[in-house]
Amino acid sequence: MANWQHGRESRNARIEAGAKLAQGKFVAEADVTRLMEAIIRPGDRVCLEGDNQKQADLLSAALLAVDVAKVNNLHMVQSGIVLSEHLDIFERGVAKKLDYAYSGPQSARIATMLFGGKIELGAVHTYLELFARYFIDLTPNVALIAAVSADHDGNLYTGPNTEDTPTVVEATTFKDGIVFAQVNEIVDHVPRVDIPSDRVHFIVKAGKPFFVEPLFTRDPAAITETQILTAMLAIKGVYAPYGVRRLNHGIGFSTAAIELLLPTYGEKLGLRGKVASQFALNPHPALIPAIESGWVKQIHSFGSEVGMDSYIRARPDVYFTGPDGSLRSNRAFCQVAGLYACDMFIGSTLQIDLQGNSSTVTTSRIAGFGGAPNMGSDARGRRHPSQPWLQAGLEADPGGVAPLRRGRKLVVQIGETFGDKNIPLFVEKLDALALAEKLKLELAPVMIYGDDVTHIITEEGIANLLLCRDANEREQAIRGVAGYTDVGRARDLNLVKQLRERRVICRPEDLDIDPLDADRNMLAARSMKDLVHWSGGLYAPPTQFRNW
Amino acid sequence: MANWQHGRESRNARIEAGAKLAQGKFVAEADVTRLMEAIIRPGDRVCLEGDNQKQADLLSAALLAVDVAKVNNLHMVQSGIVLSEHLDIFERGVAKKLDYAYSGPQSARIATMLFGGKIELGAVHTYLELFARYFIDLTPNVALIAAVSADHDGNLYTGPNTEDTPTVVEATTFKDGIVFAQVNEIVDHVPRVDIPSDRVHFIVKAGKPFFVEPLFTRDPAAITETQILTAMLAIKGVYAPYGVRRLNHGIGFSTAAIELLLPTYGEKLGLRGKVASQFALNPHPALIPAIESGWVKQIHSFGSEVGMDSYIRARPDVYFTGPDGSLRSNRAFCQVAGLYACDMFIGSTLQIDLQGNSSTVTTSRIAGFGGAPNMGSDARGRRHPSQPWLQAGLEADPGGVAPLRRGRKLVVQIGETFGDKNIPLFVEKLDALALAEKLKLELAPVMIYGDDVTHIITEEGIANLLLCRDANEREQAIRGVAGYTDVGRARDLNLVKQLRERRVICRPEDLDIDPLDADRNMLAARSMKDLVHWSGGLYAPPTQFRNW
């Protein structure tokens, strides 16, 4: 008779082996590596949590220390490659294959290791896509996760950074996998149950709180006047005419500038209540002035942000919070919200080519995708209409038959024609292509494809790609806002002029915006201290952002 | 000073009002309606769970009985409109506005009520899209949910039909909403914790178990030889050449026929292990022979299916199960898996037009979308390659530059040229258009758009729309498999011949399939009893499917 219980038997054997090193579910910190050697088998798929912000750092260090004769050739399936240990395990031979989504802080080293063949790459995903595969073909055998506290039964409290944890645990535990959590403390009662105890097999109390990176904090002091100009263009040229209420903002100074202009410039334009009221967004400190000015109705978050806890607790009408009062974030649901319930994604990028394809990959850095490709793509499964979405659809296909014509997600790329270190934003060919060739990838790591982008905003103006009728118009619309980059200077002056007449290209003056008005005085907050002030002292910036 | 705690204060006031009618969280069945009058306010957004299968039927009946002076004008936000009470509440004025996803059994009545203006329609969604809006602009104030059991603290066990519950509860409870659950029984220890008690505010023990509809059971005895022929075409003409391993099957006899041909016809073609190994799928009884024959590696499920519990418990290597041994389903995650981790969606429809748009709406029935538009759309946010996906992308865009060319999701529509009651599958104009006009909808209720469909399979052959180079070719490819319908007879014989030469159209003989071989003897199971036999007696079909 066939055995249909291989997974269950394996799980039970692992739990039994682990139990010898634990008291009930609880493991001493000194025994963590030995426990891993007991519960992880060569070739296992392992999720070493690894989120956008929260890191299971104790478990990362412990996994690095395993006996490679016992634990090796692991297939790591985790969204974030953030800590050096996440790559060290490949150097040591503990791990061999990698499927992931984001590697911001390790983007240079991961590139080197991929070039050197130290890592066998499965694929670079967007978060939701990796989560999807957790249920189909990349289900973890073992999940090594991080939480704030556990009670004596093993119920876990993740605190504001719930992030990926419920998704990772669901995929692992319900497919006969093992869940091993590090917690900051063990308490009699957890403030709320983020993960029920029967989904958790082992727990270790870490000597120090898990590491969280403040990824979404932008110091208003560093916002340039060019960024303020592009933010004005975005608000007056995109938010207002489409009436965009439900949206996501990418990470970066350009969108931080938009957030800080809503209560000043946006107010002057009479847009409060008409745009930017519902967000799929982390708790960006830069949004505090807009929240305090009554702009924001509701925010659902992927994760939290360091320093924002007290502010969030005091603003439950805006944020999702638990009975304990702290934020309940959830990356999977927030990505779903960004995909299907938002009318706009706006974010920055490193390179844009002549077709509008964009990428954050350079020949020496592979940052991964994070969530942008998911939210910055046209959700073709969407079936509910909204005015911004219908209007974008109409612009793209004016000849279409109304009730059969779909709408379009607004996907906006915003940036300066010359970015950091004066590197041009616009290129003839993405570095991603050279990288794909070098690594023999079947798919170049394109962040957002040109056919999904609807608008490109630079200090030179807005290119509305929805209004372009062919590839040539599209290319010239892009060149037409590419400024003094090589791409911009190679424009067809005549066609660009025509595109401007058709309002495919809008210059600042076409929107009655005087670039000289783009002044830092327009920012609702001009420093971190201003943000703290706006928050009524509730926002507590991380040390690296304090200069007082 | 501004108040940022409106939601919390409202929640606390409701809990306090409700507490007077409860003992702790527990409410007597006789007090349920009065409790609803205490916790629900006019105009509230309410999710009356309302899934694809599981129904909070006690709470539906109780909501219908409220005093309309106290509870009225509710905005119902729930995926399924399944019970008559779901519509009765609109007749009575308890509810006014509706946002939903699926209304199979109520499709005729909902149409009548929409025509009569008895319901103010928000939009018809696909499941994941509605869930997305739960976090952005359709967050429920009150969720009325169904579970199998509760313990004395209020932890809930949903059993195999977890379905929408975790998603509904997460959106409601973490945004200061009230969660009220009906359970079949109250126990000392729940078999597993599907919903932690701190997310649940009130609980009632129902006099009888909640209603579950066996929606995914297809009696093999009712499968026709034409359906067997289309299933053979699908397996040999699509599954095999693309090597489709990760997929979703729609509901219907055509895909049931495929499931029942895998262990016979598929085996003969040597496809075991090469196709159909990982599914996002409910526990279809028709898949039992393929599972028993070693075809299926893993299935993640949206919900469960009546009668499949013991079988699932005995096959944990295939299904996702909890520590209690029963299925853990999860509609949100399974829809995500269907969107991003599957290479193919294949399903049936009622009408297909000349552009390939399809709809299950008729002028008198609005069945809603369910999950098909989500899974049957090209996931443009996808960034991981696979052979089926790359091959489909290559066929669609042979001139594209390889590493910049995206792949394509395979979206296959399968059906007989004349369906039930000899109604033609192919039409010049979808009934959905007439309906959109009648209801003044901005968007016609199209199930799957033509530009997302890659293949149409009928008994006349396979039309591969990926290989069509313009709208005319596309139309003729569709006409070319539309048989003796008006659409089929109006084909351009010459162009259809050319399309066949280019293998855009494949006839059965082009695939070496003899239609005379399409015999019911090829089905691995020809009756419900055969399925029970294959399952080793573990599958227990619902009464309506038993004739022994």
B387-391: long-range contacts (C-beta < 8 A, 24 or more apart)?
B387/B242, B387/B243, B388/B242, B388/B243, B388/B244, B388/B245, B388/B343, B388/B344, B389/B343, B390/A442, B390/A443, B391/B241, B391/B242
CATH 3.40.1080.10 fits A21-211, yes or no: yes
Q: What is the mean pLDDT of residues B290-309?
A: 98
In this complex, is the C-beta atom of B399 within 8 Å of any C-beta atom belonging to chain A?
no
* Record: contact B136-A342, CB cut-off 8 A: yes
* Record: contact A129-B176, CB cut-off 8 A: no
Residue with tokens 């999720």: A47
Q: pLDDT category, A213, cuts 50, 70, 90?
A: confident
Q: pLDDT category, B362, cuts 50, 70, 90?
A: confident
In this complex, is the C-beta atom of A6 within 8 Å of any C-beta atom belonging to chain B?
yes
Q: How far apart (Å, rounded) are the C-alpha atoms in residues B158 and B149?
A: 7
The helix (run of H) or strand (run of E) holding residue A144 is: strand A142-150
User: Fold identical between B17-212 and B220-529?
Assistant: yes
pLDDT at site A422: 92
* Record: contact A298-B139, CB cut-off 8 A: yes
- Strand pairing class (B120-124; B45-48): unpaired
Q: What is the mean pLDDT of residues A12-36?
A: 98
In chain A, residues with a C-beta closer than 8 Å to the C-beta of B2 are 292
pLDDT at site B201: 98
Q: Contact at 8 Å (CB) between B480 and B473?
A: no
- Nearest by CB to residue B342, choosing from A136, A245, A316, is A136
Q: How far apart (Å, rounded) are the C-alpha atoms in residues A356 and A504?
A: 15
Q: Contact at 8 Å (CB) between B81 and B368?
A: yes
Q: What is the mean pLDDT of residues B173-195?
A: 98
Segment 405-424 of chain B within 8 Å of chain A by CB: 406-407
* Record: contact A381-B341, CB cut-off 8 A: no
CA distances to B102, B320, B345, B433 from B445, in Å: 12, 33, 19, 8
In chain B, residues with a C-beta closer than 8 Å to the C-beta of A292 are 2
Task: Quote the Cα angle for A419-A424-A428, to 5°.
Answer: 145
Task: Quote the Cα angle for B324-B281-B307, to 5°.
Answer: 55
List the single best residue of A98, A125, A134, A135 to mutate versus B (max B Cβ within 10 A): A135
Task: Quote the Cα angle for B2-B5-B7, to 5°.
Answer: 130
Which residue type is seen at A514?
Answer: D
**Residue B133's closest chain A neighbor by CA?**
A341
Q: What is the mean pLDDT of residues B117-140?
A: 97
* Record: contact A129-B382, CB cut-off 8 A: yes
Q: How far apart (Å, rounded) are the C-alpha atoms in residues A333 and B84?
A: 31
In this complex, is the C-beta atom of B107 within 8 Å of any C-beta atom belonging to chain A?
no
User: From the CA of A482, how many Å to the nearest CA of chain B?
Assistant: 22
Q: How far apart (Å, rounded) are the C-alpha atoms in residues A15 and B170?
A: 30
* Record: contact B133-A341, CB cut-off 8 A: yes
pLDDT at site B546: 86
pLDDT at site A106: 95
Q: What are phi and psi of B350, to 5 degrees?
A: -95, -40
In chain B, residues with a C-beta closer than 8 Å to the C-beta of A390 are 442-443
Over residues B402-439, the pLDDT tens digits come to 899 999 999 999 999 998 889 999 999 999 999 999 99
CA distances to A465, B465, B478 from B509, in Å: 46, 19, 18
Tokens representing B523? 């089905």
Q: pLDDT category, A205, cuts 50, 70, 90?
A: very high
Q: What is the mean pLDDT of residues A245-250?
A: 97
Name residues whose C-beta falls within 8 Å of residue B257's C-beta, 6 or more positions apart in sequence: B223, B227, B228, B230, B231, B523
User: From the CA of A467, how many Å to the nearest CA of chain B?
Assistant: 20
Fold of B17-212: Glutaconate Coenzyme A-transferase (3.40.1080)
List % helix, strand, coil for chain A (3-state, nearest 5): 40, 20, 45
Locate the domains of chain A by residue range: 21-211, 220-529
Which region among A120-124, A364-368, B322-326, B509-513 has the lowest average model confidence (pLDDT)?
Answer: A364-368
Q: How far apart (Å, rounded) are the C-alpha atoms in residues A548 and B19?
A: 49
Tell me the sheet residues that pair with B345. Answer: B248, B411
pLDDT at site B432: 95
Give the architecture-level CATH label for domain B220-529. Answer: 3-Layer(aba) Sandwich (3.40)
In this complex, is the C-beta atom of B306 within 8 Å of any C-beta atom belonging to chain A?
no
Q: pLDDT category, B131, cuts 50, 70, 90?
A: very high
Q: How far apart (Å, rounded) are the C-alpha atoms in residues A181 and A161?
A: 14
In this complex, is the C-beta atom of A313 within 8 Å of any C-beta atom belonging to chain B?
no
Exposure string of B80-117, with b = 16+ CB inside 10 Å and e = fewer, is: bbbbebbbbbbebebbbbbbbbbbbbbbebbbebbeee
* Record: contact A193-B192, CB cut-off 8 A: no
Q: pLDDT category, A114, cuts 50, 70, 90?
A: very high
Residue with tokens 């957004």: B45
**Residue B405's closest chain A neighbor by CA?**
A443
| pLDDT exceeds 80 at position B309 | yes
| pLDDT exceeds 80 at position A547 | no
In this complex, is the C-beta atom of B475 within 8 Å of any C-beta atom belonging to chain A?
no
DSSP annotation string for A225-249: HHHHHHHHHHIIIIIHHHT--EEEE
* Record: contact A443-B383, CB cut-off 8 A: yes
In this complex, is the C-beta atom of B400 within 8 Å of any C-beta atom belonging to chain A?
no
User: From the CA of B510, how many Å to the nearest CA of chain A?
Assistant: 31
pLDDT at site A130: 98
Signed CA dihedral, A290, A293, A296, A301: sign only: positive
Q: pLDDT category, A548, cuts 50, 70, 90?
A: confident
Q: What is the mean pLDDT of residues A302-325?
A: 98
Residue % of chain B over a pLDDT of 90: 95
The helix (run of H) or strand (run of E) holding residue B180 is: strand B178-186
Q: How far apart (Å, rounded) are the C-alpha atoms in residues B282 and B319?
A: 10
Tell me the count of A-B CB pairs closer than 8 A: 275
Q: How far apart (Å, rounded) are the C-alpha atoms in residues A507 and A237?
A: 10
In this complex, is the C-beta atom of A304 within 8 Å of any C-beta atom belonging to chain B?
no
Count of CB atoms situated within 10 Å of the CB of A197: 19
* Record: contact A6-B317, CB cut-off 8 A: yes
User: From the CA of A507, how many Å to the nearest CA of chain B?
Assistant: 31
Name residues whose C-beta falls within 8 Å of residue B281's C-beta, 6 or more positions apart in sequence: B248, B249, B287, B299, B300, B301, B302
| pLDDT exceeds 90 at position A2 | no
Which region among A206-215, A217-226, A463-472, B341-350 has the lowest average model confidence (pLDDT)?
Answer: A206-215
Q: Where are the alpha helices (DSSP H) in B220-264?
A: 225-234, 240-242, 253-261
pLDDT at site B363: 83
Residue with tokens 């499941």: B127
List the single best residue of B404, B409, B431, B439 to mutate versus A (max A Cβ within 10 A): B404
Q: How far apart (Å, rounded) are the C-alpha atoms in residues A34 and A71?
A: 10
- Strand pairing class (B74-77; B246-249): unpaired
In this complex, is the C-beta atom of A548 within 8 Å of any C-beta atom belonging to chain B?
no
In this complex, is the C-beta atom of A274 within 8 Å of any C-beta atom belonging to chain B?
no
Nearest CA-CA partner of A478 in A452, A504, A445: A504
In this complex, is the C-beta atom of A137 within 8 Å of any C-beta atom belonging to chain B?
yes
Tell me the sheet residues that pair with B102. Answer: B80, B368
In chain B, residues with a C-beta closer than 8 Å to the C-beta of A375 are 381
In chain B, residues with a C-beta closer than 8 Å to the C-beta of A175 are 298, 320
Question: Which segments within A376-480 are labelled E, that is strand?
Answer: 410-414, 455-458, 461-464
| pLDDT exceeds 90 at position B123 | yes
Tell me the sheet residues that pair with B410. Answer: B344
- Nearest by CB to residue A403, choosing from B170, B336, B433, is B433
Residue with tokens 């539309």: B482
Nearest CA-CA partner of A195 in A25, A369, A75: A25
User: From the CA of B97, how many Å to the nearest CA of chain A?
Assistant: 15
Q: How far apart (Å, rounded) are the C-alpha atoms in residues B309 and A126?
A: 34
In this complex, is the C-beta atom of A339 within 8 Å of any C-beta atom belonging to chain B?
yes
Nearest CA-CA partner of A178 in A16, A64, A5: A16
What average pLDDT does the structure give for chain A? 97
**Residue A281's closest chain B neighbor by CA?**
B136
Residue % of chain A over a pLDDT of 90: 95
* Record: contact A332-B328, CB cut-off 8 A: no
